[in-house]
């Protein structure tokens, strides 16, 4: 895509020129006799300029965007068609590998080609690409100029340039907000599409209910399926064990107690210092936690296990990963609990204190029960965050798919396996690689369900006290 | 005399103030400030079990502030500072050795807005006896709950649904539940901060009846800005204005023959 | 009790049983309060422990050990003509400096003993290119040592334990002791760590390559997610009609903000790499992936900022005849901008610390050169930390911690900027 940057720059240059021309024409309307009366010229000159500029830019950008997105495919098709009969790679994987080598050669990533045909194709590629680049460049310039000219001839004193420009701005706003929906659909579609291909190779029941996970056995395409190697239950268990059990055993009491202390007991000055410090815990990147868990916590946990006589303690343990993850989640649980407690009306607290309850009795017997839906919702959100967390488990929990409840053993999680499956050597159509998308789909659906449920619980709770 | 005071006159309860045996609570020269704002100054008042005492006055006059001094609920406001002396049975409640937990058990409180805990009706009433250890057994506790609900005039309405949430009751029932909750701790004084202001007239009438029934068993102090209510339920009335106590005396005296022109103006509806 | 309530006798608060009960309740109160303090202390203590551990093991990566040795710049061994090289120092670019360094090392430390880092010949080349007149002479130079000597000099090994358990050889320990007593070792600022890229040798590894990769990615992320986020926020907050479409958009944004980051990596892999054929390991793909992740965060922060602008401002502008679009662009956006920027900066901080999605799109490549553009293979600082953390050698543990220190410093800087902006510009209505 040589020179596409320059082409975009040229398009914007054209836009600026169009703006200047449109504005100049409108300035002339204003300067004309009677043009300075209110309402004589409907819009300010700059809107006339913007109108012409948009008419110039928009078509040019559409052409260039088409070139940017589809250009590779056009060039590839022509290069392939130009290859001598017989040396042309078969459509499918061969062709993809060939084209990627050609592109690598063109970009200069490879000094020399493995495939001699690719060497020639790379030269052809450069030539074809240049030809297309000139073609699209000229086309973009032409439509841009035409748009500008048409817009320019439409300018009159009573022309509603501002309304036109504002309509376009509105369109832009709508377009921007559609990106979120598009991303969501992109996630759902790509996960479903790849998972569907995976489930053609491995039955979905086996994936969801199988107890044995060892994707390494299925590296070759002819080995796929029915080997019993894609049972994801050990991964689901590991995920729940680390994220929803061990991490929560750490995070719920600590998060809840810090929230209680900070909201109910501490002086305002102390709270002002302690809260940001607590939030630093949430701001530390997960890779740092992972490193810390692997380097410091995991060996300590193993030594502790050995010292109390557990001989099969692993150096990568569910406990180490879960504990560190729990610490990471503390600020999250704390701030959710904080919100939930703050939503309990002060009259409840007063009512209890006025009967002679101590602050701790008030908190334990009135505030927490009253805030329970909010706290539970917050904990569910925390669980959803914990099971989606990746780096800590990749670095500290290990890759062994054990179905064990021993916290000193190594277990693996959905996220850790996704990373393991998609890094290193991979071929895109093997069941091994595709299984990562099936795992991703499960993870996405579970976290989505947890979030929607938790948010509705929290919302209902808030409304109850509003 | 205008129409207004005629109404008040006819609304006056039949019961006259009786002579106090010994005051249950005495306040001498009490002043309260929130930060730099002086909310109340120089208040001296006696409260007895024999008579219901009403605090009246326009909004922001300090009557609620003073009420909250009597069970030290002002402690929960960090910036509040209370000076002067308040005694319960002759003991200073602001003395360092006074236990605030015990104090609040002895001086119960009912709030302006009904604030039942989001628990069952039974649990709401049992909460106080439980935390203070006032019941020796489950049967004992059941007895306390029933007794308290009966006293609050709520038993017949809720006896079949004690397990329902307290928040599911109507506003008037909720407020009577809060009174039952206060009674269950066996207090000596009950402070009521505009207990009927959020209720409809029928519920209000029930609360007022209840207050009259409770007279003599507990020293009752009620804050209200409804003068008819003060006239109906109380035997002693204190009129507060702009943070000070203007006049304190028998309700009948205050309403028919106020000493202070400000009291007269307020009662006859010139301001407030 | 029931009778007492009926008879109206006051509760016997002064009884021993009651007094004991109250004392017990106060004990519980203190215990509960203590638990709160303990929880806070535990959380704070963990943070402190984490930071001190990292700093203690990482600060040494900013220092490097050098050894003094005599090197003969023999033109014959270098394979260059001295006279020609003096005229044109560029000829020295491909000269055999490894050779003269190896000779000097063999002569002074013994054959096959590695004291000097494999990459130290670059120092010799730079010297010769700067001053070709040294060709043919013997110079005393300070050269970077291997990681083992470096770690010995920094006291990283406990020499009291059995030498067989140490990752260094007895020869190395003996040499280190000798050189140390002769004053031929010095430790100074490790410039290479801040300017270099990855390497197989810990003493030659630097973070600039990864850091630059991170910066390139953040530029893409910012350029894409800021306008998109702000524009969507404006639409949703100011113009969107209440209908099913708006609901779908809102639900999407709120849920995207909670989707695990690794899912965005899968999206990037499936869409950008496999469908659009964009280059693997490139900052542009990483930036796009992180932009999709950051964008909902910016939308949510921006909406909060827009909501905080009081309606009276809008009414005032509409009242003097501004169009709705003008109201938004002339009044609402300028007033909400500090809040939007704060949200954006915090989103950027999160993107800077993100690792998992980048692993999915191949940004964990081993790269010994600094990336030069948006489409060149690159890695990112957190990913570099992840790659190094896999390496158990002492030198890399130190470098990993060092890289973490740099990452945390940048995060501190960014968050500090956000807090400064908020305090300085945010208006409370």
Q: What is the mean pLDDT of chain C?
A: 87
Residue C105 has pLDDT above 80, yes or no: yes
Q: How close A138 gets to chain C, by Cα (Å)?
A: 25
Interchain contact C181–B (C-beta under 8 A): no
What is the reported pLDDT for C427? 66
**Cα dihedral sign, C151-C153-C155-C161:** positive
Please tell me the predicted confidence (pLDDT) of residue C230.
Answer: 94
Helix (H, G, I), strand (E, B) or coil at C302: helix
CA angle at residue A267 from A262 to A268, to 5 degrees? 85
Q: Which residues of chain B lie closer than 8 angstroms to A354, CB-CB?
A: 71, 73, 104, 108-109, 111, 182
Virtual torsion, Cα B91, B92, B94, B99, nearest 10 deg: -10
* Cβ contact C192:C144 at 8 Å: yes
Provide CB contacts within 8 A for C225, sequence distance 6+: C290, C291, C292, C294, C295, C298, C344, C347
Report phi then psi at C79, rounded to 5: 75, 30
pLDDT at C89 over 80: no
Question: Which residues of chain C does A176 touch, with a Cβ-Cβ cutoff of 8 Å?
Answer: 227-229, 231-232, 235
Distances from the Cα of A80 to the Cα of A86, A100, C9, C278, angstroms: 11, 13, 103, 19
Interacting residues of C340 by C-beta distance below 8 A, sequence separation 6+: C230, C233, C298, C301, C302, C305, C306, C333
- pLDDT for the residue numbered C118: 85
Same domain, A17 and A146: yes
**pLDDT, position A426:** 59
Alpha-carbon dihedral sign for residues A297, A303, A306, A308: negative
User: What is the maximum alpha-carbon separation in chain B?
Assistant: 59
pLDDT band (50, 70, 90) for residue C217: very high
* Residue whose pair of structure tokens reads 């639900």 in the numeric block: C251
Residues whose CB falls within 8 Å of the CB of residue A235, separated by 6 or more in sequence, listed in order: A213, A401, A412, A413, A414, A417, A439
Q: CB within 8 A of C107, min separation 6: which ones?
A: none
Does A253 touch chain C if contact means CB atoms closer than 8 Å? yes
pLDDT at A113: 67
- Record: contact A166-C295, CB cut-off 8 A: no
Query: How far apart, in whole angstroms, are the C-alpha atoms of residue C122 and residue B39?
Result: 80
Q: Contact, A237 vs A220, CB < 8 A?
A: no
Does A167 fall in a domain?
no
| Second CATH level (architecture) for the domain C208-425 | Orthogonal Bundle (1.10)
Instruction: Evaluate if residue C141 carries a pLDDT over 70.
Output: yes
Number of structural domains in chain B: 1
Q: For residue C5, what is the nearest residue in chain B, using CA coordinates? A: B186
Host H or E run for residue B185: none
Mean pLDDT of C392-421: 90
Q: Is A164 part of any domain?
A: no
Distance from CA of B127 to the nearest CA of A (A): 9
Most A CBs within 10 Å, among B112, B114, B119, B127, to test the A interface: B127
- The model's pLDDT over B183-210, given as tens digits with 9 standing for 90+, comes to 999 899 999 999 988 888 888 998 999 9
Please state, as a whole number, how many other Cβ atoms lie within 10 Å of the Cβ of residue B163: 9
In C, which residues are within 8 Å of A331 by CB distance?
Answer: 43
Checking if the pLDDT of C382 tops 90, the result is yes
Chain B CB contacts of C13 below 8 Å: 102, 105-106
Phi, psi of B244, rounded to the nearest 5 degrees: -135, 160
- For residue A223, being part of any structural domain is answered with no
**Ranges A87-91, B20-24, C193-197, most confident:** C193-197
Domain end (from A109, A125, A159): A159
**CA of A44 vs chain C CAs: smallest distance (Å):** 12
Would the CA dihedral through B232, B236, B237, B243 be positive or negative? negative
For C123, the token pair is: 């120092």
What was the pLDDT predicted at A272? 87
Count of domains for chain A: 2
Which of C:356-395 have CB within 8 Å of A?
356, 359-360, 362, 364, 375, 377, 382-383, 385-386, 389
* CA-based nearest residue to C300, from A170, A277, A177, A452: A177
pLDDT score, position B11:
53
Range of the domain at B123: 3-267
- CA distance linking residue C234 with residue C257, whole number of Å: 18
Q: What's the CATH number where A392 sits? A: 1.10.3720.10
User: Is B239 domain-assigned?
Assistant: yes
Task: Find the mean pLDDT for residues C170-191.
Answer: 87
What residues contact residue A441 under an 8 Å CB cut-off, 6+ apart? A191, A192, A195
Q: What sign does the CA torsion over C155, C161, C165, C168 have?
A: positive
Q: Residues in chain A with pLDDT < 70?
A: 1-3, 38-39, 91-93, 96, 108-113, 216-228, 424-429, 466
Interface residue C307 vs chain B (CB under 8 A)? no
pLDDT tens profile C249-295: 888 888 888 899 999 999 998 888 888 777 788 899 999 999 999 99
Residue B95: strand, helix, or coil: coil
* Residues of chain A with C-beta less than 8 angstroms from the C-beta of C40: 257-258, 261-262, 274, 278
Given A115, A143, A159, the domain boundary residue is: A159
Range of the domain at A16: 4-159
DSSP of C66-103, one letter per residue? EEEEEEE--HHHHTS-HHHHHH-GGGGGGS-HHHHHHH
A110-136 burial, b for 16+ CB within 10 Å, e for fewer? Answer: eeebeeebbebbbebbbebbeebbeeb
Question: Is B272 part of any domain?
Answer: no
| CB of B188 less than 8 A from some CB of C | yes
Q: Domain locations in chain C?
A: 2-58, 62-191, 208-425
Q: How far apart are CA A60 and CA A147, in angstroms?
A: 9
Q: What is the average pLDDT across B235-251?
A: 91
Report the DSSP beta bridge partners of residue B56.
B239
Nearest alpha carbon to residue A429 among A200, A89, A212: A200
**Quick one: A151 and A264 in the same domain?**
no
ipTM of the complex: 0.90
CB C103 within 8 A of CB C72: yes
Tokens 């543990």 -> residue:
C397
Q: Return d(Cα C206, Cα C287) in angstroms, integer.
A: 22
Taking alpha carbons only, the member of C141, C82, C87, C89 closest to residue C117 is: C141
Short-list A337, A332, A328, A335, CA closest to A242: A328
Q: How far, in Å, CA of C105 to CA of C113, rounded?
A: 8
From chain B, pick out residues whose CB is under 8 angstroms from the CB of A347.
111, 113, 115
Domain presence at residue B97: yes
Q: Is C256 exposed, middle or buried (0-12, 13-18, 19+ CB in 10 A)?
A: buried
Look at residue B8 in the predicted model and tell me its pLDDT: 47
Asked if C47's CB is within 8 angstroms of A428's CB, the reply is no
Q: Which of A187, A252, A256, A320 best tests the C interface by mutation, with the highest count of C CBs <10 A? A: A187
Domain co-membership, A155 together with A302: no
- From A176-190, B258-272, C61-75, the region with the lowest mean pLDDT: B258-272
What 3-state DSSP class applies to C119?
helix
**Exposed/middle/buried for A317, CB within 10 Å: 0-12, 13-18, 19+?**
buried
Q: Are residues A257 and A341 in the same domain?
A: yes
Task: Answer yes or no: is pLDDT of C309 > 50.
Answer: yes
Give the integer Cα–Cα distance in Å for B164 and A348. 18
B155 vs C contacts (CB less than 8 Å) = none
Strands C63-72 and B219-223: unpaired
Distance, CA of A125 to CA of A81 (rounded, Å): 11
Q: How far is CA C379 from the centre of its chain?
A: 12
Order across the sheet with B107-110: list the strands: B107-110, B189-193, B219-223, B52-56, B236-241, B244-250
Task: Answer yes or no: is B216 within a domain.
Answer: yes
Q: What angle do CA B89, B90, B91 make, to 5 degrees?
A: 95
Q: Are B223 and B239 in contact (CB under 8 A)?
A: no
* Strand partners of residue C149: none
């Amino acid at each position: 895509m040589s020179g596409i940057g320059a082409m975009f720059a040229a398009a914007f240059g054209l836009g600026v020129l169009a703006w200047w021309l449109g504005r100049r024409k409108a300035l002339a309307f204003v300067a004309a006799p009677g043009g300075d009366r209110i309402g004589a010229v409907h819009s300010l000159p700059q809107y006339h300029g913007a109108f012409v500029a948009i008419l110039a830019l928009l078509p040019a950008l559409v052409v260039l965007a088409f070139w940017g997105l589809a250009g590779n495919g056009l060039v590839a098709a022509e290069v392939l068609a130009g290859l001598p009969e017989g040396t042309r790679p078969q459509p499918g994987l061969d062709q993809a590998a060939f084209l990627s080598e050609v592109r690598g050669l063109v970009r200069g990533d490879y000094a020399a080609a493995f495939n001699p045909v690719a060497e020639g194709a790379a030269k052809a590629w450069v030539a074809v690409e240049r030809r297309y680049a000139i073609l699209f460049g000229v086309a973009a310039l032409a439509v841009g100029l035409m748009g500008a000219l048409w817009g320019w001839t439409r300018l009159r004193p009573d022309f509603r340039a501002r309304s036109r420009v504002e309509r376009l701005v509105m369109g832009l706003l709508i377009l921007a907000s559609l990106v979120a929906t598009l991303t969501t659909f992109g996630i759902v579609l790509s996960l479903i599409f790849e998972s569907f291909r995976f489930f053609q190779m491995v039955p979905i029941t086996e994936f969801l209910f199988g107890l044995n996970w060892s994707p390494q056995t299925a590296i070759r395409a002819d080995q796929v399926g029915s080997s019993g190697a894609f049972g994801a239950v050990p991964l689901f268990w590991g995920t729940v064990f680390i994220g929803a059990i061990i991490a929560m055993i750490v995070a719920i009491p600590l998060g809840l107690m810090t929230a209680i202390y900070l909201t109910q007991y501490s002086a305002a000055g102390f709270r002002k210092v302690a809260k940001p410090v607590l939030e630093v815990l949430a701001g530390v990147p997960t890779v740092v936690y992972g490193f810390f868990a692997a380097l410091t916590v995991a060996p300590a946990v193993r030594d502790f296990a050995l010292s109390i006589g557990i001989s099969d303690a692993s150096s990568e343990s569910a406990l180490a990963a879960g504990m560190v993850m729990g610490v990471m989640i503390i600020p999250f649980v704390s701030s959710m609990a904080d919100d939930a407690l703050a939503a309990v009306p002060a009259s409840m607290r007063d009512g209890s204190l006025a009967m002679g309850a101590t602050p701790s009795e008030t908190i334990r017997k009135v505030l927490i029960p009253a805030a329970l839906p909010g706290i539970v919702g917050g904990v569910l959100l925390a669980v959803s965050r914990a099971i989606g967390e990746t780096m800590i488990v990749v670095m500290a929990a290990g890759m062994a798919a054990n179905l064990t409840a021993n916290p000193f053993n190594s277990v693996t999680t959905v996220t850790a396996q996704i990373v393991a499956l998609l890094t290193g050597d991979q071929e895109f159509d093997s069941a091994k690689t595709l299984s990562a998308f099936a795992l991703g789909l499960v993870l996405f659906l579970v976290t989505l369900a947890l979030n929607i449920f938790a948010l509705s619980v929290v919302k209902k709770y808030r409304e109850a006290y509003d | 005399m205008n129409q207004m005071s005629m109404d008040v006159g006819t609304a006056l309860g039949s019961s006259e103030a009786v002579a106090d045996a010994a005051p249950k609570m005495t306040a001498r020269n009490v002043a309260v400030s929130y930060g730099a704002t002086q909310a109340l100054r120089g208040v001296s008042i006696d409260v007895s079990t024999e008579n219901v005492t009403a605090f009246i006055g326009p909004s922001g006059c300090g009557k609620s502030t003073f009420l909250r001094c009597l069970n030290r609920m002002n402690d929960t406001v960090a910036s509040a500072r209370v000076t002067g002396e308040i005694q319960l049975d002759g003991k200073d409640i602001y003395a360092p050795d006074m236990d605030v937990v015990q104090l609040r058990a002895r001086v119960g409180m009912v709030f302006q807005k009904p604030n039942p805990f989001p628990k069952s009706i039974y649990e709401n009433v049992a909460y106080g006896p439980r935390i203070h250890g006032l019941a020796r057994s489950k049967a004992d506790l059941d007895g306390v709950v029933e007794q308290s609900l009966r006293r609050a005039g709520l038993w017949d309405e809720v006896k079949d649904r004690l397990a329902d949430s307290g928040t599911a009751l109507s506003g008037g029932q909720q407020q009577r539940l809060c009174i039952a909750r206060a009674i269950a701790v066996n207090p000596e004084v009950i402070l009521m901060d505009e207990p009927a202001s959020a209720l409809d007239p029928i519920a209000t009438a029930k609360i007022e009846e209840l207050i009259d029934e409770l007279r003599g068993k507990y020293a009752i102090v009620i804050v209200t800005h409804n003068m008819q209510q003060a006239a109906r339920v109380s035997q002693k009335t204190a009129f507060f204005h702009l943070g000070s106590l203007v006049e304190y005396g028998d309700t009948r005296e205050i309403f028919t023959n106020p000493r202070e022109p400000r009291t007269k103006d307020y009662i006859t509806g010139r301001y407030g | 009790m029931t009778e007492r309530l009926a008879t109206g006798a006051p509760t016997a608060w002064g009884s021993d049983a009651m007094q004991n009960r109250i004392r017990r309740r106060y004990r519980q109160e203190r215990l509960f309060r203590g638990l709160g303090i303990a929880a806070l202390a535990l959380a704070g203590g963990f943070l402190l422990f984490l930071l001190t551990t990292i700093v203690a093991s990482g600060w040494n990566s900013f220092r490097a050990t050098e050894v003094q040795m005599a090197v003969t710049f023999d033109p014959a061994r270098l394979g260059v003509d001295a006279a020609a090289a003096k005229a044109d120092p560029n000829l020295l670019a491909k000269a055999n400096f490894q050779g003269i360094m190896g000779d000097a090392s063999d002569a002074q430390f013994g054959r096959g003993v590695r004291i000097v880092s494999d990459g130290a010949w670059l120092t010799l080349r730079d010297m010769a290119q700067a001053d070709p007149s040294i060709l043919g002479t013997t110079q005393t130079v300070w050269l970077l040592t291997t990681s083992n000597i470096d770690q010995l000099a920094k006291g990283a090994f406990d020499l009291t334990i059995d030498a067989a358990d140490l990752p260094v050889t007895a020869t190395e320990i003996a040499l280190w002791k000798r050189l140390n007593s002769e004053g031929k070792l010095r430790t100074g600022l490790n410039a290479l760590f801040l300017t270099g890229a990855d390497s197989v040798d810990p003493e030659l590894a630097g973070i600039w390559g990864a850091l630059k990769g991170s910066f390139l990615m953040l530029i893409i992320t910012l350029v894409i997610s800021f306008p998109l986020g702000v524009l969507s926020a404006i639409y949703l907050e100011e113009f969107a009609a209440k209908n099913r479409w708006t609901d779908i958009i809102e639900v999407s944004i709120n849920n995207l903000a909670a989707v695990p980051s690794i899912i965005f990596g899968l999206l990037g892999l499936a869409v950008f790499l496999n469908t659009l054929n964009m280059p693997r390991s490139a900052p542009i793909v990483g930036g796009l992936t992180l932009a999709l992740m950051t964008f909902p965060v910016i939308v949510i922060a921006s909406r909060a900022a827009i909501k905080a602008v009081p309606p009276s401002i809008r009414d005032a502008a509409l009242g003097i005849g501004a169009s709705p679009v003008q109201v938004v662009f002339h009044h609402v956006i300028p007033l909400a901008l500090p809040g939007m920027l704060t949200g954006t900066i915090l989103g950027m901080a999160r993107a800077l610390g993100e690792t998992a999605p980048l692993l999915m799109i191949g940004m964990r490549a081993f790269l010994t050169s600094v990336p030069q553009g948006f489409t060149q293979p690159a890695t990112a600082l957190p990913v570099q930390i992840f790659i190094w953390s896999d390496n158990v050698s002492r030198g890399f543990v130190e470098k990993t911690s060092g890289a973490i220190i740099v990452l945390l410093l940048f995060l501190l800087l960014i968050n500090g900027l956000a807090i400064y902006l908020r305090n300085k510009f945010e208006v409370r209505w």
